[in-house]
Amino acid sequence: MKKSIYVLLLLSLGLMACTEDDNSVDYYYNWVERNQQYIDSIAQVAKGNPQWLSFHTYKYPVSSANASVNEYVYVKPMERGAGAVSPLYTDSVEVYYRGRLIPLYDGTEVVFDQNYRGDLDIHTAVPTKFDVSGVVPGWTTALMQMHEGDYWTIYIPTELGYDSMKMTDVPAYSTLIFDVYLKRIIPMHKL
């Protein structure tokens, strides 16, 4: 386990690249390859650790034992909830979340979206309501496995995130990392 974390750190830090014209650091240099290496490393950690979970996405049919690591969402549970059911694709949920990118070359953590600051305090933070079907496929895949009270770190490969689309603070081909606490499931028939 320690060796896998060490590999992740080395991949994240790498060597900084400078642009030729102004010697500024390009923190997103080699971004596509770095993100693939990162998710490959996460898949290895998840495979070798019984505390981790991995879920094949609903987006693609389960093809064979040779399914790509990019067809799975990887989860490191931080807390297990007391809930007994998982949301359906047609349900809505109330969640606390923080989304971030893989660390930049200098180790900087880029948070691109969140609905709480600092450490999560469910007594003061305000949850956000989402349709389970209204988020990226990787997040939908994970949500449909969660129970109320679960608090997970979710690792989403680029294909199950924004893929080749650039979003405001998210470069194209980014692995997405979300800390998600599922507060409440709102079944479709109760909307």
Tens digit of each residue's pLDDT (9 = 90 or more) over 112-169: 999 999 999 999 999 999 999 999 999 999 999 999 999 999 999 999 999 999 998 9
Q: Are strands 92-100 and 111-114 parallel, antiparallel or unpaired?
A: antiparallel
Residue 162 vs residue 6, higher pLDDT: 162
The answer to whether residues 91 and 141 touch, using CB atoms and an 8 Å cutoff, is: no
What is the reported pLDDT for 64?
62
- Confidence grade of residue 40 (pLDDT, cut at 50, 70, 90): very high
Q: What is the mean pLDDT of the chain?
A: 88
CA pair distance 4, 63, nearest whole angstrom = 28
Predicted local distance difference test score (pLDDT) of residue 21: 55
